[in-house]
Amino acid sequence: MGHIRLGALPKTRQWARIFDLLREPVPDPARLADAVSCAAERQMHLLKGDEGLNYCFWVLLRIAAAARAPDFDARLTQLGIDCSSVSSALDFVRRVSDAVQPGLERRRGNAVFSRFAELSLRRALSQSITDASQTLFGTSMAEIHAACHRCSSRDGFGKIARRFFTEFTRRTVRFVIDKEISNHVGSQGSFASSSDIGCFYQALDTYCEEASLIVEDFSGGWFSKHNWETNDIIPEDSASSFTAYALEKFMMELREDRK
């Protein structure tokens, strides 16, 4: 199921072409793109098995699984998420973030990337709830439950998992690029204006979103299979194998685009 590449995925801009947005003076944009993609791939490889990343993704899938049950609030309480008197989706996402912090502190993940994972969890949840309720404000717990329940289907979980990994890879690749560009660009700079910088990072964000499509279908199938096998209580160690594979999928995209 997860070992089959889906063929040529539609992209508005290939990885190397993103670097064409860099203005002169700059070393060879193709060489810079290759250097950055290699650095990003090395970083993704190091993050396989990262406990912070695995934990945040596990919390996401447990929230989706909990939404399949009528006692949604009680299931969330078991995860340490206090849902009493929740007044909005923004409040709910904040409480999830608060509940995640102690768990992250107990795990030996990289602090920077654990933070990226936590922010990715928040963004994936907030985007999905907003899609369903059209607002982050004044949303009832019943509406939040309904929105999370939509994420518990095969297609729904595929979409929220893609959002999580889009945000995580976006932040990770930006982190690498911010460090790597400085190793290749001289003091004269590579951008004519702040607008050029914005265009560069906008193209990068689009690339990460399009590349993460390869995770979506696999996510939904994996979630459905493991929920059935575990009676909707997927253990945390199962998330580790999934996140490692999702990162490998993204690395595969970088390798393909370097050819």
DSSP assignment letter at 20:
G
Listed range (36-40, 180-184, 213-217) with the worst mean pLDDT: 180-184
pLDDT at residue 51 tops 80: yes
Q: Which residue has the higher pLDDT, 23 or 108?
A: 108
200 pLDDT tier (thresholds 50, 70, 90): confident
What domain range includes position 163? Answer: 15-258
Position 119, amino acid: L
pLDDT at 130 over 80: yes
Instruction: Determine the Cα angle at 152 with ends 147 and 155, to 5°.
Output: 100
In a domain, 200, yes or no: yes
Distance separating alpha carbons of residues 109 and 82, to the nearest angstrom? 24
Whole-number pLDDT of residue 72: 92
Total number of domains in the chain: 1
Question: In the predicted model, what is the mean pLDDT of residues 220-244?
Answer: 85
Q: Does 135 reside within a domain?
A: yes
Mean pLDDT, residues 205-212 taken together: 87
Assigned domain for 1 exists: no
Question: Distance between CA atoms of 69 and 87, rounded to whole angstroms?
Answer: 21
Q: Is 174 among the domain residues?
A: yes
Whether the pLDDT of residue 50 is over 60: the answer is: yes
Give the percent of the chain with pLDDT over 70.
Answer: 77
The answer to the question of residue 22 being in a domain is yes
pLDDT digits (tens, 9 = 90+) for 71-111: 999 999 999 999 888 888 889 999 999 999 999 999 988 99
Is 241 a member of any domain?
A: yes
SS3 content of the chain, % helix, strand, coil (to 5): 75, 0, 25
- pTM (2 decimals)? 0.84
In a domain, 5, yes or no: no
Q: Yes or no: say if 147 and 131 are a contact pair by the CB < 8 Å rule.
A: yes
